[in-house]
Amino acid sequence: RKEVEQDPGPFNVPEGATVAFNCTYSNSASQSFFWYRQDCRKEPKLLMSVYSSGNEDGRFTAQLNRASQYISLLIRDSKLSDSATYLCVVTRRAGGFKTIFGAGTRLFVKA
Amino acid sequence: DGGITQSPKYLFRKEGQNVTLSCEQNLNHDAMYWYRQDPGQGLRLIYYSQIVNDFQKGDIAEGYSVSREKKESFPLTVTSAQKNPTAFYLCASSIQQGTGEAFFGQGTRLTVV
């Protein structure tokens, strides 16, 4: 079993839809959580950090559930430009720190 | 502008050759990383470095080597021992290992011909 698991999708949604991605992590010692966005054939870029209290950035809302060991990303009012792969990222102590990337969830937003 | 630069963008290697991928950052970050990404897959860690003159193996280090002689530079050599080197290679840096945002270079697409 992978340490960080995501539904690979793809999610195909119309413009204006609300879409949610979940990510589960298996190591309870995980400390920091992030969502990255990766466009086709490009490098990943930080979308948002995920805080225990939940956080929002415009149309994007991230939530963390430590008890159930999952994080989520909600995108409201989807735009064509939201089409990308969304990577769940978790860090934890392993000697120093270790950063683990999920395989990503692909999103296609259609007109 | 601060950032992280990888070169070349595309690289073709003949079987049995060693090739070196360049990664340079001017963000004054201590930690640097090399990842490999295969089509439809997530990022897998090859090597990471927390500080100059120190580096550690990641999950798939076999067939690769690195050096960290300068804070700004973390080159990756793909050796002939790497049996399936065709992939997208991403270099990243962060202020410290495992903390905060990781900044990525634009990647090098390596193809064996």
pLDDT digits (tens, 9 = 90+) for B24-80: 999 999 889 999 999 877 889 999 998 999 999 998 999 999 999 999 999 999 998
Distance CA A100, CA B44 (A): 8
- CB neighbourhood size of A28 (10 A): 9
| pLDDT at position A23 | 96
Q: Residue B97 above 70 pLDDT?
A: no
Contacts of B96 in chain A (CB under 8 A): 97
pLDDT in tens, A11-57: 999 999 999 999 999 988 888 999 999 999 899 999 999 988 889 99
B50 in contact with A, Cβ within 8 Å: yes
Substitution target from B10, B93, B104 for chain A, most A beta carbons within 10 A: B104
Q: Which residue of B lies nearest to A47 if distances are taken between CA atoms? A: B101
The answer to whether the beta carbons of residues B3 and B27 sit under 8 Å apart is yes
Please list the helix, strand and coil fractions of chain B in percent, rounded to the nearest 5, in that order. Answer: 0, 55, 45
Residue type, B91: C
Contact A99 B42 (CB under 8 A): no
| Residues 6+ positions from A68 with CB-CB distance below 8 Å | none
- Considering CB atoms only, which of A89, A96, A99 is closest to B50? A96
B54-A28-B103 Cα angle (round to 5): 45
Nearest Cα neighbor of B7 from B94, B113, B106, B111 is B106
